[in-house]
Structure 1
Amino acid sequence: MKKILPILLLLIGTGAGVGAGVFLRPAPEPVEAAEGGEAAEDGEHGAQEAKADDGDSAEDGEAGEEREYVKMSNQFVIPLVEEGEVTSLVMMALSVEVDAGFRDSIFLKEPKLRDSFLQVMFDHANIGGFRGAFTDNDNLDVLRSALREVAVRDAGDHVTDILILEIARQDY
């Protein structure tokens, strides 16, 4: 019995793994017809639906404006200093919301934006913005507003908002 049980468990596990693989296999991709028959018709129909969807999204958006989101490449690390010693670290991940088509300009200006964002975050830390209930809406609104201000100054009016994706504080 001691030798049969491991073999039985191995067979059951292998069978369950194969069954899960077959069940969770992705659907096969459609093959384009060489003559352009049904696949071309489906493609045209899909293009018409996409055009209809674009019209709907323009009505739903703010005066038809579209936005893109540019995630800053690395997190920001802000030390919290008390009496000359680092007592905590705050880590933040940010994304910049821009008008459609300006994504590349943000990537080109990222070093300048990172520097300006760090200056704002250091100032926020120095006035106690990351102490206590640092995730309070009013506290984060002040920070987000200051970040948006410097982003508009450094990258232009096409910056519409700053999104705080992650924020964490590590106390020592």
Structure 2
Amino acid sequence: MKAILFPAILGVSAFGGVMVADIVRPSAPASGDTHEVKADAHAKPKKDSHGKAEKGGHGGEASYAGETEFLKFKRQFVVPVLKDDTVHALVLLNIGLEVSAKERDHLFRMEPRFRDAFIRELLALSDTGYLDGDLTSPDTYEVLRETLIRAAHEIAKDGIKDVLILDLSRQDR
């Protein structure tokens, strides 16, 4: 009986979380693609104190506004937090990718692979008890971001500039 009850509760909880998230998600803008937000194409690169263009923080490559776009996943990530073989809480994340403009279309087509890699890493963090702690801690947030960035770079080495955690919440039972 326990062998059937646990997966059933887990499935119902995950499905309920996805349904609630879909209902409360803000409506999409009327014009344009909801998967991208283009940076201002007319923005000038930032200058440092010596009048030179600032380098980006990732890989030393210049990060100009016109070269960056953002991809937002269609659905949020729902991660169960288990305690004593029962679902203790659900962690909900909205994740976006900062990508180079020239790689945007290629990376957008790879969304299922990114989702798979991200959920695999998030489940591993949950399984080790990492998501039981304080999600608002800067250390926890950084470990989450670094884990997701590493997973993204395993899928696509080029084009990924950063992984952005847009929303993070936890629903305890």
Task: Tell me which residue corresponds to 1:21.
Answer: none
The verdict on how the C-alpha distance between 1:97 and 1:81 changes in structure 2, with shifts beyond 3 A counting, is same
Aligned counterpart, 1:75: 76
- Which residue does 1:135 correspond to in 2? 136
Distance 1:120 1:64 in 2: 28
Matches within 5 A, 1:15-164: 53-54=42-43, 56-57=44-45, 59=47, 62=55, 63=62, 65=64, 66-164=67-165
TM superposition outliers: structure 1 runs of 4+ over 4 Å: 58-61
TM-score (structure 2 length as normaliser): 0.64
Per the TM alignment, residue 64 of structure 1 is displaced from its structure 2 partner at its CA by 5.1
Long gaps (5+) in structure 2: 1-39, 48-52, 56-61
* Deviation per residue, 1:100-142 (Å, 9 max, x gap): 2222122110001100000110111122222231121111111
> CA-to-partner distance for each residue in 1:12-52, whole Å, 9 max, x for gaps?
xxxxxxxxxxxxxxxxxxxxxxxxxxxxxxxxxxxxxx99x
Q: Give the SS at the match of 2:102.
A: coil
* Distance change in 2, residues 1:64/1:117 (3 Å): closer
Structure 1: state its 5+ residue gaps: 1-49
How far does the alpha carbon of each residue in 1:47-104 deviate from its partner, in whole angstroms, 9 at most, with x for none? xxx99x45x3365553354211100110000001111101100110000111122221
Counterpart AA for 1:96: L
Identity %: 33
Q: Distance between the aligned counterparts of 1:64 and 1:154, measured in 2?
A: 21
- Give the corresponding residue for 1:36: none
When residues 132 and 58 of structure 1 are mapped into structure 2, their CA distance, relative to the original with a 3 A threshold, is: closer
Q: TM-score, normalised by structure 1?
A: 0.64
Mapped to 2, the partners of 1:92 and 1:64 lie a distance apart of: 26
- Identify the residue that residue 165 of structure 1 maps to in structure 2: 166
* Total equivalences in the alignment: 121
| CA distance in 1 between partners of 2:75 and 2:63 (Å) | 31
Distance 2:94 2:63 in 1: 28
Residues 61/88 of structure 1: CA separation in 2 closer, same or farther (3 Å cut): same
Identify the residue that residue 47 of structure 1 maps to in structure 2: none
Mark the structure with the bigger radius of gyration: 1
- Report the residue type matching 1:74 in the other structure: R
